[in-house]
Amino acid sequence: MPEHFAATEVPPPSDPTGPETGLPPPVSSRERYRGLIWLVAAAFFMQALDSTIVNTAVPAMADALGVTPLGMRIALTSYVLTLAIFIPASPWVCDRFGTRRVFAAAIAVFTFGSLLCGMAQTLPQLVAARVLQGLGGAALMPVGRYVLVRSIDKRDFVRAMSTVATVGLLGSVLGPLLGGLLAQYTSWRLIFLINVPVGVIGYWMNGREMPDYRLDDPHRFDLLGFLLFAAASAMLLTASEVASGGGGRWPEIAVSGVLALIFGSIYVWHSRRTAYPVADLTLLRVRSVWVSLAGNLFTRLGVSGMFLLLVLFLQVGCGWSPTMAGLMMVPQALGSICAKWVINRLLTRMGYRRFLLTNTLIVAALLASFALLGKTTPMWVIAPMVFVYGGFMGLQYTAMNTLIYNDLDVKYASMASSMASTAQYLSMSFGIALASLLMEALLQGHAHDDYVGAFRWTVLLLGIVTATASWVFSRLGVDAPKRSTM
């Protein structure tokens, strides 16, 4: 979900213009950069839509490509993993080549990747196209957020980001339903092809509205660190994919796991010996930073695959149409939207430690409660469950995502943001893989009842995984500072 920013609005100074002086009133930065705001909002919308629209079309895509629904997990994880790997490079790329060129390239690559996704005839072709999509998407949100911070005055920033966040949330709300409608009544290929005209318009707007910020003398890019980090992440995902494929391929799993450990260890050694590492691990000495990252990891390991599982349960297990299954995903986004109105007051009253301890256990219990669902459970029961779950997950995401900045000096905010985004997407890719692995291991066959039974046991196990994150959050200091959140 797009992040929400909050800041104290500063009252404007006394206006020396107006009727008394005969001078026209000054144009606010929000008015001056209105086109830029809508350009960034469109990019956020496109990425939010693409992140949610695919889930409800998974069974239809699997049938067209000749694979099992759970076999489609690599098409989801490859996109998210690519985002995680390339996001850390986006700040340096902007400094070196300028925001206008980088944002244009990101739109072009994302759009071309969407076109290839819509034309894919096999699962490997779709995965390759999703990787290309992720390569473009990795720069859309970081660059868009950075440009708005540089361009919009503080007094106008809140309203500008509210516009962007609202449009992004609209993409999250429409994505599941639109995916179901397209898969049921037209073709799943349109799920990706609808990005093409949006991308063409965005590319045209970029040339007109995007300012060009860059550094004259950027520091040297940590290429070795970037490659080590990418290799470790890819080997971890390879190990999980091989494991979920079954067949007793333990030697391949062991080799991938050992290589991931080796690459990761070399990166830790390397990062301590370079002036500008791609991820500055010295920030982990700050308690709120490592707790935020570790808590994010365990929470998202448990919850990231939930809505893929729910779609498979509703469509394959219960025989629902793609449209009806997509409609059941909408309450989750609406719940997250509602959560943003109360999170500030909750954190101010409870503090990060007590809030995250409590809310994480509630999320784990709500996740496990989906095991109560069956083939005959009516829609009016499922929809409120999804809404409540989405609301508490919205609270959890906002608290976790802002905790990392709680004790940091502002000069480290950019690096912390990059590390948080990277950890978020890595955790999501591994969470989707874990959920798929568990459900596939628990499947006794491919009948409808088999999917229902496997879904029930899987969500129970994922609830336990999520609950372990509460122990991580207990490592926070009792008197952790309370701050307003983004």
Is the confidence at residue 316, as pLDDT, over 90?
Answer: no
Q: Which of 353, 302, 337, 347 is nearest to 476 (CA)?
A: 353
**pLDDT score recorded for residue 65:** 87
The band of 62, judged by pLDDT with boundaries at 50, 70 and 90, is confident
Is the confidence at residue 59, as pLDDT, over 70?
Answer: yes
**pLDDT score recorded for residue 116:** 94
Q: Take residue 463 and report the two structure tokens written for it.
A: 């609830």
Whole-angstrom distance, CA of residue 322 vs CA of residue 465: 29
**pLDDT score recorded for residue 184:** 81
Angle between helices 90-97 and 123-151 (to 10 degrees): 60
Number of C-alpha atoms within 13 angstroms, CB side, residue 107?
Answer: 27
Cα distances from 354 to residues 142, 154, 278, in angstroms, run: 30, 31, 33
pTM of the model: 0.75
Q: Take residue 35 and report the two structure tokens written for it.
A: 């086109």
**pLDDT per position as a tens digit, 407-441:** 776 667 667 777 777 787 788 878 888 888 888 88
Is the confidence at residue 400, as pLDDT, over 90?
Answer: no
Residue 127 zone, left/alpha/beta (φ > 0; ψ -120 to 50; rest)? alpha
Q: Which of 175, 194, 484 is nearest to 345 (CA)?
A: 484
**pLDDT per position as a tens digit, 164-183:** 766 777 777 777 778 888 88
Is the confidence at residue 31, as pLDDT, over 50?
Answer: yes
**pLDDT per position as a tens digit, 1-27:** 333 333 333 344 444 444 445 545 555
Rounded mean pLDDT, 340-359? 84
Return the amino acid letter for 167. V
Whole-angstrom distance, CA of residue 89 vs CA of residue 108: 18
The band of 326, judged by pLDDT with boundaries at 50, 70 and 90, is confident
| Segment among 54-58, 67-71, 227-231, 480-484 with least mean pLDDT | 480-484
Residue 15 zone, left/alpha/beta (φ > 0; ψ -120 to 50; rest)? beta
The 3-state DSSP class for residue 62 equals: helix
Q: Residue 117: CB partners within 8 Å, gap ≥ 6?
A: 126, 129, 130, 133, 189, 192
Determine the number of helices (DSSP H) and then strands (DSSP E) in the chain. 20, 0
Residue 66 zone, left/alpha/beta (φ > 0; ψ -120 to 50; rest)? left
Helix-strand-coil percent breakdown of the chain, rounded to 5? Answer: 75, 0, 25
For residues 266 and 404, which has the higher predicted lDDT (pLDDT)?
A: 266
| Segment among 2-16, 144-158, 391-405, 469-483 with least mean pLDDT | 2-16
Is the confidence at residue 154, as pLDDT, over 70?
Answer: no
Q: Take residue 61 and report the two structure tokens written for it.
A: 């895509």
**pLDDT per position as a tens digit, 231-259:** 888 888 777 767 655 555 677 778 888 99
Whole-angstrom distance, CA of residue 32 vs CA of residue 212: 16
The 3-state DSSP class for residue 18 equals: strand
